[in-house]
Structure 1
Amino acid sequence: MISLSHPLEEPVKTSIQESEAFLPQSIPEERYKMKSKPLGICLIIDCIGNETELLQDTFTSLGYEVQKFLHLSVNGISQILGQFACMPEHRDYDSFVCVLVSRGGSQSLYGVNQTHSGLPLHHIRRMFMGDSCPYLAGKPKVFFIQNYVVSEGQLEDSSLLEVDGPAMKNVEFKAQQRGLSTVHREADFFWSLCTADVSLLERSCSSPSLYLQCLSQKLRQERKCPLLDLHIELNGHMYDWNSRVSAKEKYYVWLQHTLRKKLILSYT
């Protein structure tokens, strides 16, 4: 036993967790601001036609202004995305959500086309980077993509389709006029890509995507849950599903993000 009266004895040491002497009462957690009404635009491009109603109900309930487009060609998808990337209305909103549902290749979307070329996924992300889309710089840009992958043997042997990108020059010039941003142009993206075999549509063309069904359910029921945590749960459901079905029925989910703060897709 340590004698507290002896001046040469060291006092009993306690951890910070035990003493709580150096811990603040509450540590404020930095979150993306989500207070604008609406929270932002939710753009839905559904080239299959199974998901629109479910997705519209979900994102409307979260506080988004939903705008939807069905059965677009590759050029149509590119043009719509380009128009939305340039919208000055984004400056009044706190976020942007885009949901894309299409047949495609491993790294591209075909829309209603079925050719050897498509709209590259990296081209889509490029449209919304900070230098191309200055009104969304520093704000979360959330993409949920369901891509039904077509094998090369199923493609039509047609001429390559060249896709014109959006008119970037004016937007980039405006971004330069606003001065150099301190936020990296690739920051604040949440990019969730789910691929599945196109044969799922052939078996039941009216059946919705399990990925998007699960996503919608979680966003509705757990709307105060951080999006990263919610996506981990979603990935767990997809893993469980894949462990029980054949290879042609599996869903594969990839997540890439450059979020700098905690993101909750509802009013906070």
Structure 2
Amino acid sequence: PARPARQSRALIIVNTDFCSSAGDVVLGTRRGAKREAEKLSEALSELNYKVKLMHNSTAKEMEDLYQQECSHEHGEFFVSIISSHGEEGAVFGSDCKPLQLTRIFRILSPQNCPALAERPKVFFIQVTPAGGGTLDQGVFLETDSGQPEPCSFSEYLRIPPNTAVMFACSPGYGAFLNPSGSSFLQALLRALDGEERGLALSRLATRLNGDVALRFQARGTFEGCKQMPCFVTNLPREVFPFSAMSESRRLLPCPALPGGPEEEERQPGCKKSQAM
């Protein structure tokens, strides 16, 4: 009999409680994030991913988790979801120490991780800024001319080949989290549970942008503030990471572009980098 296809793997890291090495609580508790991550783990398991869900990992433990992925057998895709406090270009461990995203990408590079060399790697990153961040007031601006400001992604973060990263918000802005979860990962969860999961990743990202931008608006102290995710990709072709038909569709070309922690492991029952 034919050998069954290897399962794609997913690593979900969620940090909700933060203490320094001295035992001081430095950053606020991220209420709602753990349950949200558990739901995402269940959704990915149902999509035939082998999911590892980690809760409250230190920066070193997070780094080790990605190192461990290099020794596993992988299927068609690798997906990782990170939900934590952080700052531009870095996520914080439960010990309040930063782990640079570029370090994660180096660990998973073809030179250091041959097992993932030819496989698309997809990241969804929900970071609550430790310093609060700037809030998007949702102001409409009309102009007849003028040049847009350059995207700062090229300055602080280079996405390696065969990788796509979707951030909960643009650099310098804050992403919202409330006791029921984050607007960004809740939108991702709805997509994984709905028909959108069959879309190419680039189209799925556009749907997530619209879902967050149009459905979410802060209340209370931050009433009127909005949020817009940001998608950066260096994938050479269209991929369908959440579709049952992904194996037969993954070689479609990209369309032309205009211009000690707790651990739970679940078994299942284009061209150039650009921001969207």
Q: TM-score, normalised by structure 1?
A: 0.65
Find the counterpart in structure 2 of residue 178 from structure 1: none
- What are structure 1's unaligned runs of at least 5 residues? 1-34, 154-184
Find the counterpart in structure 2 of residue 122 from structure 1: 102
Checking the alignment, whether the CA contact within 8 Å between 2:86 and 2:92 is kept in structure 1 is yes
Find the counterpart in structure 2 of residue 143 from structure 1: 123
Q: Which structure's CA Rg is the greater one?
A: 1
- Residue among 204, 207, 210 paired with 1:236: 210
Which whole-Å CA distance do the structure 1 matches of 2:14 and 2:225 have between them? 20
Find the counterpart in structure 1 of residue 183 from structure 2: 210
Find the counterpart in structure 2 of residue 267 from structure 1: 244
Indicate whether 1:87 and 2:61 are aligned: no
Q: Deviations over 1:5-57 (max 9, x none)?
A: xxxxxxxxxxxxxxxxxxxxxxxxxxxxxx9342x111111112232221111
Residue type matched to 1:36 in 2? A
Find the counterpart in structure 2 of residue 156 from structure 1: none
Find the counterpart in structure 2 of residue 27 from structure 1: none
Which whole-Å CA distance do the structure 1 matches of 2:92 and 2:226 have between them? 20
Find the counterpart in structure 1 of residue 12 from structure 2: 44
Checking the alignment, whether the CA contact within 8 Å between 1:197 and 1:248 is kept in structure 2 is no
Residue type matched to 2:209 in 1? N
Post-superposition shift, 1:220? 2.3
- Residue among 79, 83, 93 paired with 1:101: 83
Q: Deviations over 1:178-220 (max 9, x none)?
A: xxxxxxx93211111114747x55xx4x321111111111122
Q: Deviations over 1:55-78 (max 9, x none)?
A: 111111211011111011111111
Indicate whether 1:253 and 2:248 are aligned: no
Report the secondary structure of 1:89's partner residue: coil
Aligned residues: 193
Q: Deviations over 1:102-141 (max 9, x none)?
A: 0111221112133xx5111111122112112111112111
Checking the alignment, whether the CA contact within 8 Å between 1:41 and 1:65 is kept in structure 2 is yes
Residue type matched to 1:111 in 2? G
Q: Which has the higher helix share?
A: 1
Q: TM-score, normalised by structure 2?
A: 0.63
Which whole-Å CA distance do the structure 1 matches of 2:39 and 2:128 have between them? 18
Which whole-Å CA distance do the structure 2 matches of 1:133 and 1:67 have between them? 18
Report the secondary structure of 1:186's partner residue: coil
Checking the alignment, whether the CA contact within 8 Å between 2:11 and 2:79 is kept in structure 1 is yes
Find the counterpart in structure 2 of residue 187 from structure 1: 161
Cα distance change of structure 1 residues 73 and 194 upon mapping to structure 2, 3 Å threshold:
same
Checking the alignment, whether the CA contact within 8 Å between 1:197 and 1:249 is kept in structure 2 is no
Checking the alignment, whether the CA contact within 8 Å between 1:37 and 1:63 is kept in structure 2 is no
Report the secondary structure of 2:161's partner residue: coil
Residues 57-96 of structure 1 aligned to structure 2 (within 5 Å): 57-84=42-69, 86-90=70-74, 93-96=75-78
Among the aligned pairs, what percent are the same residue? 26
Checking the alignment, whether the CA contact within 8 Å between 1:62 and 1:223 is kept in structure 2 is no
Residue type matched to 2:205 in 1? H
Cα distance change of structure 1 residues 127 and 224 upon mapping to structure 2, 3 Å threshold:
same
Cα distance change of structure 1 residues 152 and 244 upon mapping to structure 2, 3 Å threshold:
closer
Name the Cα RMSD after superposition: 2.6
Residue type matched to 2:231 in 1? L
